[in-house]
Amino acid sequence: PGDSSVLREAVAVAQHHDAVAGTERQHVADDYARQLAKGWDSCQVLVANALSLLGGTKEPLVFCNGLNISVCPLSETTPHFTVILYNPLAWDVSWPVRLPVRATSYAVTDPQGRPVVPVSGVTRRLWGGAGGAPGELLFQAWAPPLGFSTFEVKQLSPGSTWDTPGWPSGTPWDPPRWPSG
């Protein structure tokens, strides 16, 4: 069972001026972080349950909390996976998805089953992140207001180079016209 009250309680506790301003001892700061992390985990179960209900399946759903340091075991090891984007805002969002991957060529299809182009791959530089994957898969995703979109990612041949059509500088990029939310 997912439960958002754990995070609500943790955020309530973190209204203390110490938590806001950082004027607490280290072990107290660590405990604020521990409570928030527990609340975060419990909310992720809630979101996963909601998505499973909407999808009518019991498929495992995975959250990669280390994307900001390019760590995501599922995208790094699985040749075929789905990315679900949930948009909590009241307007369409276009969102750059950047996932650590091992292979060098992927096909991405959008919620209507159409190929998402362009798909870019970049080799991660030394200081790019802590993860082990040598590369990152980039594609532009989008999601309707208070809604979600699913994008399917399939690894093509592992060995070929990135099919990154260069983006001629100065040429306005024509974003895909996606159905408004």
> Which residues from 44-73 bind another protein, rule CB under 8 A?
47-48, 51-52, 54-57, 59-64, 67-69, 72
Q: Is 104 in the site for another protein (CB under 8 A)?
A: no
Choosing from 81, 101, 106, 135, the residue that interacts with another protein (CB under 8 A) is 81
113 binds another protein (CB under 8 A): no
Establish how many alpha carbons lie within 13 A of residue 128's alpha carbon, considering only the half-sphere containing its beta carbon: 17
Contact between 156 and another protein per CB under 8 A = no
Q: How far is the CB of 131 from another protein (least distance, A)?
A: 13
Rounded to a whole number of angstroms, the minimum distance from the CB of residue 1 to another protein is 18
Give the total residue count for the chain: 181
Among 14, 29, 36, 45, binds another protein (CB under 8 A): 29
| Beta sheet of 135-143, edge-to-edge order | 93-101, 135-143, 119-123
31, 63 Cβ separation under 8 angstroms: no
Q: Least distance in Å: CB of 22 to another protein? A: 6
Q: Which stretch binds another protein (CB under 8 A): 6-14, 34-42, 100-108, 124-132?
A: 124-132
The number of beta carbons lying within 10 Å of the beta carbon of residue 42 is: 17
Question: What is the residue-wise DSSP string for 114-133?
Answer: PBP--EEEEEPPGGG-S-S-
Q: In angstroms, give the least distance from the CB of 117 to another protein.
A: 8
Beta bridge partners of 120: 138
CA 153 – CA 141 distance, rounded (Å): 12
Is 83 a binding residue for another protein by CB under 8 A? The answer is yes
Alpha helices in 78-152 (DSSP H): none
Q: Which is nearer to another protein, 6 or 99 (CB)?
A: 99
